[in-house]
Structure 1
Amino acid sequence: MEIGQVIKKIRTNKNITQQSLANAIGMTRPYIARIESGKNSISSDKLTEILDYCNVSYNEFFYMKNDYKKESKMNDYNKVIKLYYEKNMEGISKIKDEAKRKYEENNDIFLRHLYILCHCMENDLDVNKIDKEYTQEITDYLLSIDDWCYYELVVLNNFLFLFSPAPALLMSKNLLKYAEKYKELNSDTKVLSYLLFNLLELSIKNNDFESAKTLLNATKTYTKKNTEFFELTLSLFYEGMLNIVDDFIMEGIEKCNKSLDIFRTLSNEYFYTKLKEDLDQLLKKKLSAKK
């Protein structure tokens, strides 16, 4: 839908007349009518005023504008990932060629990243086969952005498999800045928590325990709602892991086992097995260090 159409839909759904809306935001009724019909444009300030008056968030507005679908660009990323798991390399190749063609037309960095993701999928996510220039390009892009937005989270999420521990943990600084700045914004919870936990696991496996503690604190702050049961359970597990690192071994094992019991009760075999292996490896390390 066009912006004017969405404004009209919101207004009529809220039983607000054009005149009432015009009075509320200091415009004339005919001007509101021309905006709704697409004959006049609207400034971002006035759009904000309209949404505030109608009690509608920007997220809702753009969701409606995109015909009640998630933003179409992000859908393209998801489409490629889905095709990869379906082993549909022909479909990935078509998207790759189309992304290249469109990128050459309008220089949209999203299309460049989509092209690189397709290249990675075509090479079965094998870092030894993926063009090193592409890995460097993604790294340079993420490190060049000081204040990340949701898009940068998605890029890191999609390309995390490319990075060795050092650059990945360096990027976690921007991730933490984002988590702090946008902690009241709920729409990015899943992708952000996924990245936080993956980087937390990476830092522990690479003995970077200071980074791990910082990431754990950020994770606990971001997932403080009791409804985020899965994230809280993972946080408890990694809190136990760091207790073990700090030689509070029995306390740490108790927390880890409590988390593992929850995953087993929920029949989440993947996480139970994976985390149990991580715990066993850490305990072996501690035992070896004491010999």
Structure 2
Amino acid sequence: MEIGQVIKKIRTNKNITQQSLANAIGMTRPYIARIESGKNSISSDKLTEILDFCNVSYNEFFYIKNDYKITSKMNDYNYILKLYYGKNIEEISKIKNEVNEKYEENGDIFLRHLYILCHCMENDLDVNKINKEYIKEMADYLLSIDDWCYYELVVLNNFLFLFPPATAFLMSKSLLKYADKYKELNSDTKILSFLLFNLLELSIKHNEFQSSEMLLNATKTYTTKKTEFFELTLSLFYEGMINIVDDSIIEGMEKCNKSLNIFESLGNEYFYTKYKQDLDILLKKKLVTNKKDSV
């Protein structure tokens, strides 16, 4: 739908007349009519005033504009991921070539990133097979953006485990900056918590314990709702892991085991097995470290 059509749809759904809308934002009724018919354009300031008067958020506005679907670009990312998990590499290769042609035509950076993602998936996300220049290009892009938006979260999510750990931890600063700035925006909490937990896992795996505590504090800040049961359980698990790192082993084990018991009781075998293995690896590593310190 065009912008004017969306405005008309929202206005009529809210039982607001053109005249009352015009009065509210300091315009004439004929001008509102011309906007809705597509004969006049509208400034971002006036669009903001209209949405505010109609009690509609920008997220809702663009969702309606896209015929009640997630934006096509995010759908493209999701479609590529679906193909990869379905092992349809032939279709991914075909899309990669089409995407590259479109990128050469219009220079849309999204298409370039999608092309690189297709390349990575063609090579089964194996860092030894992927063109290293492509990974550097993606890292350079993310590190060059001072203020991340939702798109940068999606990019980091898609490429996180392909970056060197040091680069990923450097990017965590931009992630936390985004989280702090957009903490009142609830629409991005799922991908945000997903990234924080993945970075937490990386930090413990690579002994970046200062980053671990910083990331855990951020995770606990943004997963406070009782309805975020999975996130709260995982936060407790990682809190226990960091307790173990800090030599509060008994306390840490209690928290980790409580989390594992929850996953087991819910019948979530995948998460129970995964995090049980992570705990066992950390305990073995801690045992080796303590033996060296005692010598």
Q: Same fold (TM over 0.5)?
A: yes
2:90 corresponds to: 90
Give the aligned length. Answer: 291
The code of the aligned residue for 2:241 comes to: M
2:71 corresponds to: 71
Runs of 4+ in structure 1 deviating by more than 3 angstroms, as ranges, are none
Measured in 2, the distance between the counterparts of 1:64 and 1:289 equals: 56
Measured in 2, the distance between the counterparts of 1:83 and 1:202 equals: 26
Aligned residue runs from structure 1 range 133-144, under 5 A: 133-144=133-144
1:220 corresponds to: 220
1:111 corresponds to: 111
1:102 corresponds to: 102
2:180 corresponds to: 180
The code of the aligned residue for 2:244 comes to: I
The code of the aligned residue for 2:32 comes to: I
Measured in 2, the distance between the counterparts of 1:276 and 1:182 equals: 33
Measured in 2, the distance between the counterparts of 1:124 and 1:70 equals: 27
Per-residue CA distance 1:92-144 (angstroms, 9 max, x = gap): 12221121111111111000000000111111111111111101100111111
Aligned residue runs from structure 1 range 3-14, under 5 A: 3-14=3-14
Per-residue CA distance 1:58-85 (angstroms, 9 max, x = gap): 0000000000000110110111111111
Q: 1:290, CA displacement in angstroms?
A: 2.4
The code of the aligned residue for 2:186 comes to: N
Q: 1:206, CA displacement in angstroms?
A: 0.9
Question: Identity over the aligned pairs, expressed in percent?
Answer: 83
Aligned residue runs from structure 1 range 272-291, under 5 A: 272-291=272-291
1:194 corresponds to: 194
Per-residue CA distance 1:211-230 (angstroms, 9 max, x = gap): 00000000000111111111
Q: Report which stretch shifted further, 22-31 or 90-99.
A: 90-99
Per-residue CA distance 1:120-177 (angstroms, 9 max, x = gap): 1111111111111101100111111111111111001011121121111111111111
**Counterpart secondary structure, 1:207:** coil
Structure 2 residue runs of 5 or longer lacking an equivalent are none
1:34 corresponds to: 34
1:23 corresponds to: 23
**Counterpart secondary structure, 2:10:** helix
Alignment RMSD: 0.9
Measured in 2, the distance between the counterparts of 1:179 and 1:290 equals: 36
The code of the aligned residue for 2:173 comes to: K
Measured in 1, the distance between the counterparts of 2:285 and 2:97 equals: 48
The code of the aligned residue for 1:229 comes to: F
Measured in 1, the distance between the counterparts of 2:216 and 2:253 equals: 17
Measured in 1, the distance between the counterparts of 2:29 and 2:4 equals: 14
Per-residue CA distance 1:220-257 (angstroms, 9 max, x = gap): 00111111111000000000011111111111100001
**Counterpart secondary structure, 1:187:** helix
Measured in 2, the distance between the counterparts of 1:161 and 1:251 equals: 30
**Counterpart secondary structure, 2:129:** coil
Q: In structure 2, do the counterparts of structure 1 residues 93 and 33 end up closer, same or farther at CA, with 3 Å as the change threshold?
A: same
